[in-house]
Amino acid sequence: MSSINALLVPFVGSIVILIDYYNRRSADVVQKKLLTLLIFFVLTTKVSDVIFSIVNGVPVEALRYINWAACTLYFLLISVAFGFIILLFEHSLIGNSVSLKRMATAIIILNAIYAALLIVNLFNYMFFYINHDNFYVVGDLYMVVFAVPILLVVLMLLNLLLNRKNVNKRMFVLALISSMPLTLASALDILITDSFLVWQGFFVSVLFFYLFIIHKAALVDNLTNVNNRRGFDEYIQSITKSANRKAYAFVMIDMDKFKDINDQFGHVQGDNALRDAAEILRSSVRRRDFVARYGGDEFVVIASTDNVDIIIKNIQAKFDDFNAKKIRPYQLYLSCGGDVYKPDDVRPISDFLTHVDALMYLEKERRRGI
């Protein structure tokens, strides 16, 4: 009974995570689909695990077949769940749709191979088998049964390491911590053949990852899906406290004639204008650069470069391209002010931000005279 209770606690916990997530009404549709599928496969895996705990060792021939099915599904479904948590990491940290599709294709191929091997195992018992007394017994190639899940874990860790420079350092550390329980549990399951610790490790990783999602969501503006003021404040603290100080280009952006869009086309189109502006700004800089909605119709871009003029030119060019396409019934105009915050700058960061904000308003006044 205690072993079943140990299985039910993560089961109920996964349901609680899913309910809490939906109550938060995340605006990230892709993340919502991936997390929902992840929890579904996790719960399905736990169902097979509970069935195994109940029927394993019960000397009834019909239950022996159920035990076979439960064990086979367990290994397959845990591998599929591994795939979805990797896709969640990919989407949450990298956010590139092309890269996400490429990763999904690799995961599908690996799991298809894995499913074929598990089917073969039903006939040659190379990984595991259920003996005539209905007990689970490991096979000669038992460790291979973890090859694909372990390969997926390695793939996730490599992906994190390869992209560490493209994401916020704190986000990278949180993601790395989230992956550790799963990695350690997978390794222990290879060393201790009857441990089945991978599920417990998986649940802890999902819990950590959910906390990571919540933390990240708290820093994101719900309307525009870029960083909010809280995310901006946290980012400023991280770059000013960093031991490896370097130059950062700060650009303040204010949308001109935004009130006219609201008055003429309504607040729905006003919201669309803010979303469009955020998307254009995001596409104007590198993935690792920082974009935030500073407040109202004002945005800020921070890039690790000492050439602020190039950043401003890129932003203006992207807005010009958007206006030329006439996608919306309005045009987007903006005023930019920018400067470089250098490592040897002795000013408090608050004074520097006031300075950049003043440059933006000077440009706004200049544009009014055109």
- Reported as a single tens digit per residue, the pLDDT across 158-207 is 776 776 666 666 666 766 777 777 667 766 766 665 556 666 777 777 77
229-368, CATH topology level? Alpha-Beta Plaits (3.30.70)
Share of residues in the chain with pLDDT > 90 (%): 26
Alpha carbon separation from 324 to 211, 313, 328, 331 (Å, rounded):
42, 16, 10, 9
Residue 313 tokens, joined: 């030119």
Residue 319 tokens, joined: 């807005």
Element (H, E) at 86: helix 61-89
Q: Which CATH code is given to the segment(s) 2-218?
A: 1.20.1070
Amino acid at 243: A
Instruction: Read off the pLDDT band of 24 (50, 70, 90).
Output: low
The DSSP line for 156-218 is HHHHHHHTGGGS-HHHHHHHHHHHHHHHHHHHHHHHSTT---HHHHHHHHHHHHHHHHHHHHH
Specify the residue for token string 């949180």.
174
Q: Report the distance separating Cα 151 and Cα 107, nearest Å.
A: 10
Q: Report the distance separating Cα 101 and Cα 99, nearest Å.
A: 5
- Reported as a single tens digit per residue, the pLDDT across 134-161 is 998 988 887 777 666 677 777 777 776 7
Q: Report the distance separating Cα 222 and Cα 228, nearest Å.
A: 8
Contact (CB, 8 A) for 318 and 283: yes
Which residues are CB-contacts of 282 (< 8 A; sequence separation ≥ 6)? Answer: 226, 291
Which residues are CB-contacts of 327 (< 8 A; sequence separation ≥ 6)? Answer: 276
Rg (CA), the chain: 26
Domain edges within the chain: 2-218, 229-368
Instruction: Read off the pLDDT band of 1 (50, 70, 90).
Output: very low
- Eight-class DSSP state of 304: S
Question: Any idea which of 237-241, 249-253, 355-359 has the lowest mean pLDDT?
Answer: 237-241
- Reported as a single tens digit per residue, the pLDDT across 286-314 is 877 899 999 889 999 999 888 999 999 99
Instruction: Read off the pLDDT band of 2 (50, 70, 90).
Output: very low
